[in-house]
Amino acid sequence: MILRRIATAFRKQDWFTVAVETLIVVFGVLIGLQVNNWNQERIERNSEHVMLLRLQEEARSLLDMQKGELAAQRPRLEILKNAHPVMFSLAPSRPLTSDECWALVVSHWLPSPTEELSSLDELIASGRFDLISNRSVKEALRDYAVVKERSRGARAEAVSELFRLHSRHPDAVQLEVGHADDTDYFPSAANTDGEGMVWRYLCDISKIRGNKGFLSEYSDNIARLNSYLKRYEDRIIVLTELDAELTKELGTSHSRRKRETAP
């Protein structure tokens, strides 16, 4: 209708009508574009809110898992620290306890930590990281991505050169295998294969104290175990900061959404 009126006005050379009708068309287009922009922005903010909720849920779950894994791995180091004066001849010799011996045997063990934050990986892989508008949240997410990559690199380097002491020094750490029914010699704490066989390791403190090669390799394992546990602490710090920023932003966005939807 508007275009027909403009064409009729042109034929009649009614320039005032042409100008008015043209302005109506232009303003209509501009208003339509602005409404479309508002709708698109609202869709993006809704998507961002959903993503923030997912990130918070995953970050809190991962934070709990990190704390749990650290709590499970740290005792190995604490047990070994109690044995260090004896092992390094700084205290009178005594037999290592079964817990101390087992911690020594697995001093090379650095299991892969749980560190994936799938929503963050999804944002980065899809190129939608800028969907997150809050600068502090984005910085916290970047910090975690950096800490995670450094952790992966450090662990990859560490596990490539660890020393399995019981394999390298069988005279100092001896493997004994027996039958499960021999309860006098193999206590219930011994490891079992579920088919009637049990095994345990015995640490010969006299051969450990005088073996410089063993103690050097053991010290290397302990240094790597220390670094491995420190990486847990780094991830926990960053995840705690991320959770705090997400809580703050979600609280702000919730208040803003309530104002926007209020009658």
Burial 91-109 (b: 16+ CB within 10 A, else e): eeeeebeeebbbbbbbbbe
The reported pTM is 0.76
pLDDT-derived band at 177 (thresholds 50, 70, 90) equals: confident
- Confidence at residue 254, expressed as pLDDT on a 0 to 100 scale: 47
| Interatomic CA distance for residues 3 and 25, integer angstroms | 9
What's the pLDDT tens digit per position in 142-172? Answer: 999 999 999 999 989 888 878 999 999 999 9
Burial 218-245 (b: 16+ CB within 10 A, else e): bebbbebbeebbebbebbbebbbbbbeb
* Domains: count for the chain: 1
Domain range holding 46? Answer: 2-261
Q: Where are the beta strands (DSSP E) in the chain?
A: 173-179, 191-192, 197-203
H or E element, residue 49: helix 15-87
The tally of CA atoms less than 13 A away on the side-chain side of residue 209 is 16
